[in-house]
Structure 1
Amino acid sequence: MTQTHGSESIGQRIAASRRLRGWTQKRLALEFGNEFSLGLLRHVEQGRVPASPAFTSACARALGVNVTELFDQPYPRTTRDEQMVHAGIPEIRRELASYRIPPEDVPARPLVELAGDVARASRLRHSVKLGELGRFLPDLLHDLRIAWHSTSGPDQERIFGLLAEAYAAASQVAYKLGYVDLSSLAVDRYEWAAARSGDELAVLAGDYQRAGEMIATADWAAAGRFLENSRRRIESELNREDPATLAMWGNLHLKSGLAAARGGRRDLADAHLAEARETAERLGEDRDDYRLCFGPANVDIWSVGLAVEMMDGTEAVRRSEDVHLPTGTPRERVGHHYIDLARGFLLHGDREGAFSALQVAKRVAPTQTRYHPMVHETIRMLARQEARASETVRGFAAWCGITTID
């Protein structure tokens, strides 16, 4: 697969990978079991139906390729601005590689300064300023490495907690820019740091991230079992009246709902969503514990996304009518909602609604929208379904780096 970026859709890449393996469409469909049909595979390869994340990851697993190959990630940098967005990635990679090596003999920065910088990194993460965050993180990770080698006892545990939060930010930068393997490495580092923080909820936040890794590789059933064990730890070991613990409980249910939805288990996905909604109502407000947003508004966002994951665009659009995002909702969450909603409108057959949602996503979180593979898939479908793609649709596609629409 050496085509120039933007010249192939996900369906075309699936077809090319399938042919390289020497498989017919029927042979690949056999690998899906009862999860996806031969008809769906044909429609996706022909560009008549958008490839969902679940379908794409199932194809990648069956074909023995990385899902990033089918998404064509990371996207190439063709402008100075794009180069600047990606500029921090090499240094983040170096810092993740040397995470346990004692740094040079220099004094550690005060804990309060490090805490302030980690908070700034998390704000950049929620506002999806990926280029600025990527350039900010390497020095911060380095300074935190100095600090944990220079301290002991409770202060060292606090440093490990801050380091875990910084690793979570690094994982998000890498993931959103398409460096999925680097993102996975950052999750490994998060788990390592969280285990040394003395904070059980931080460890469970690592479980939330690990489950996301499993879901992305189409290991949906195993992710569900893993998350069930995580929730059992809350039931047996932690105070479920504590707001932060409640928020973690709700988030684990949301991630379980995603695993169920990707695996085609709608009733189970809806049950997890209902449990998360009940928990959010008990909290009565949105929180940001461990940089995992949770509360009524975030559950509403997830409700739309889960309907889309179950390929029910009509239900996603219906649920969206009840979504009211308060001022202060992180741009990352707002942008993600409108990206999902665009997919929902497309499945519902409302092309105008889909494009309007994409435009909102671009306005709220431009970098996230520019690099999101489902945005690329949605805009391709919009262009194909028009007898003559409008200049605005083609302009949006070009902004995303899509060079051809077939």
Structure 2
Amino acid sequence: MYLTKEEEKILDGEYGEILRRCMNLLVSLGDIYGAERLIPITSSQISGVSYKTIKDVGLEFLEDFAKENVKVKVHSTLNPAGMDLDKWKELGIKEEFAEKQLRIIDAFKKMGVEISCTCTPYLIGNLPKFGEHISWAESSAVSFANSVLGAKTNREGGPSALASAILGKTPYYGYHLDENRKAEVMIKLDEELLNLLKSLKFGESFYGALGYLIGKMVKNGVPYFENLYKLNPSNDNLKSLGASMAASGGVALYHAKELTAECKVKEVVDDKIEKISIGIEEIKESYEKLNTTNDKPDLICIGCPHCSLMEIKEIAEFIKKHDIKLDCDFWICTSLHTKAILDRMGHTRIIEKAGGRVVKDTCMVVAPIEEIGYKKVATNSGKAGVYLPSFCKSEVIYGDIKDILKN
């Protein structure tokens, strides 16, 4: 792997131990994956933020970095924490957990990382341009950046994304190379399924169910959706699709005709790739697998990935129109930025009047909801449907949020 003289000095420790460790990590990754060199990046999204997931080992690692006064070189945003950083007591978070979570946040702050605490950085200002090289570590954000935006990133881990943020570079391999971004399997929704979906005016949970199914099928591959555009999905729908594929498989990039960035400017598919047809039965089976109980939920939770302003606005209007009164807890997870606008617009007040909460900085997967006592969670998130049983020991009720609220 070629290194510049400056990079060699960093690797030799001439600029301090922390920079050496960062360079060693990136060079080791580059050697493993056959990178020829390092390339500059324009932004980073850093995971490994919740105390629930990184524990004391991760906390000590971050505090070691922070005490050396190193700073990130590029725009760097942060994944969700394990709690709402301001209203954690109201959510039932224990003080010991909160104390360590706040130490993690303080370490990132000392390194100059933006304390955004969201898995949708593209909604709050970290919005890479088409073709830009970035180093992102949140699986759903990686999918959205690669696919919908057409930026270029591998599916980084928290430490490698942090190292890249500090050095402003990443190894040149994987999805940074155009030849690795070609579609590997074509997905086509059959006409019977398309007609059914159109006639039912289907809800948002379809995209999570489809993503769950395709992720299981293609694993780490690059799928191409031939006719998904006929359903006119929104960016929020594409966000959900990509997040679910990343969770059930390892999909970091997908293409969709007339929808995703690279499909609009170059050929991403040829006639030789494998073709898969998806029908009604496959989608029904996907819903059945995501649903693990028919019981009533003790928590309704959406926002995995974090909800956009438009998603929450629509829910607030639905609650108001139908005069919804909830008989269980209801969390809508989003970013600090989005919640501030919701507060101003009055949407938060409508949700709270119905018995719900707009929860910022965290989500149901990385928060210790099992310790709070939530055992049955209703959600419209395919990603959460994959992770809740293993991460939180929760049973799942999966479907459209409007159906869940009405029931």
TM-score normalized with structure 1 length: 0.27
Bigger strand fraction:
2
TM-score normalized with structure 2 length: 0.27
Comparing both chains, which one has the higher relative contact order based on Cα–Cα distances under 8 Å and sequence gaps of 6 or more?
Answer: 2
Bigger helix fraction:
1
